[in-house]
Structure 1
């Protein structure tokens, strides 16, 4: 109970530290927003939905099409990239060793990290939706059912990414190598998971590989929220598949928890 009561204070500490790091804010918080602005400006012409599906509205704005994937990418950056690098750096410079020698429970430490990801991720997705709606005229859903889908995909995806980030933090052998190890993985996943390249345009082999990771499922879940219903025929299996999305993200949630529980140490691997 003491660990739980201290979690809000630890979360506030982590959030303050996050926003004080300019590079972290740029590459995890503002990165999806910047790409939304770039894509929406470069691809100014609407995307023809009827030409892709043979049915449905004549077209949708490019911002509408790219928004779901960029929201999913933001969850990946906030959870996996941010936590993996941050924890690896804390191990490398001895901060975790010093924390391990204090009365603070590891539960408080992890709840603080998860709380920070939840706060910053919520701020990020709110900013994305505001920019998409106000600057590029994206029509946000009015159906409460779609927002309910958004809520569970967002929470399940964010928690899964956070736990995967904790687990991945054990991979770099030092804080200096953390960015070199983590960032390439995150970038590759974004390219093969339908964030920068339309999912239906990717080869089947690439889509199969992407389906083994959570980003592709988060992007698919978000597309079911923001894209016209007719576009689900472009998904593998011809439907949004919310049950499959929930199952895949739950598997990664459990996997991330188990691996992080087995691999997390207060000290560096070579210490």
Structure 2
């Protein structure tokens, strides 16, 4: 008498799916170059115009690293899920033993790896073009690590949740890019939140982008005096962790309620 082999667990299926996502991502050279290099190109163009001193370079580079990571996790991943739904990939996966949790683990692995490549490229560009100094202490790199992790996870989940609104990748680009572009201006990426009207500053503070960029600015700041340039006059690291943690929970709830395998509403 033979016994059926046990099915792989959710995590192992997710890791396997992550490996598949990475293989497909690195095979698509054009997509790889565009995804990883676009934030660096924007940094070069905008930095050349706006950055005229070392202090501004440090803060601008930190904000652009945060914005680049959010672009990959929120916009890029959201569009990717819509594409999988549109071309039937999700429908095929639904017929396999893979739960949707494993599918998301695979996607987040992809976002983590691509975001790390992107962040590394942005750091190199910032050092070469704007003489930016990298963090010099383990404490600052630890802060970079947890801000990066919470930022990627929370924004990935939000992007996946909002992707349910769009039926095509063309629609998804508009649905996801519009709030991302607006929030860059409200979150201290291009201009300091301290100079914004209270209504715009409060609006920007409701969303993760502001807190991710602020966390990275705390990492790249050459001294604590840079915190005075923030709207609150301090780095607020505890608040950053709370806000990003709350958005992670909200993203999980959003995905659990809105995710669908196909575009059919039944």
Moved more, 195-204 or 90-99: 195-204
Which residue does 1:237 correspond to in 2? 232
Is 1:12–2:6 an aligned residue pair? Answer: no
Task: Identify the match of residue 3 of structure 1 among 4, 10, 13.
Answer: 10
8 Å contact kept, 1:24–1:82: no
1:61 CA drift (Å) = 4.7
Q: Do the aligned partners of residues 212 and 26 (structure 1) sit closer, same or farther apart at CA in structure 2, a change above 3 Å counting? A: farther
Structure 1: where are the runs of 5+ without partners?
47-59
Is 1:265–2:260 an aligned residue pair? Answer: yes
Q: 3-state SS of the aligned residue for 1:176? A: helix
Q: How does 1:1-271 map to 2 (within 5 A)?
A: 2-21=9-28, 24-25=31-32, 28-43=35-50, 45-46=52-53, 60-227=54-221, 228-270=223-265
Q: Do the aligned partners of residues 255 and 232 (structure 1) sit closer, same or farther apart at CA in structure 2, a change above 3 Å counting? A: same
Which residue does 1:54 correspond to in 2? none
Could you tell me the TM-score, scaled by structure 2's length? Answer: 0.89
Deviation track 1:228-261 (CA, whole Å, cap 9, x = no partner) reads: 3112122232211111111110110000011101
8 Å contact kept, 1:173–1:270: no
8 Å contact kept, 2:159–2:176: no
Could you tell me the TM-score, scaled by structure 1's length? Answer: 0.88
1:209 CA drift (Å) = 0.3
1:23 CA drift (Å) = 5.9
1:105 CA drift (Å) = 2.7
1:179 CA drift (Å) = 1.0
8 Å contact kept, 1:75–1:121: yes
Moved more, 95-104 or 149-158: 95-104
1:270 CA drift (Å) = 4.1
Q: Do the aligned partners of residues 33 and 234 (structure 1) sit closer, same or farther apart at CA in structure 2, a change above 3 Å counting? A: same
| Structural RMSD (CA) | 1.9
1:167 CA drift (Å) = 0.8
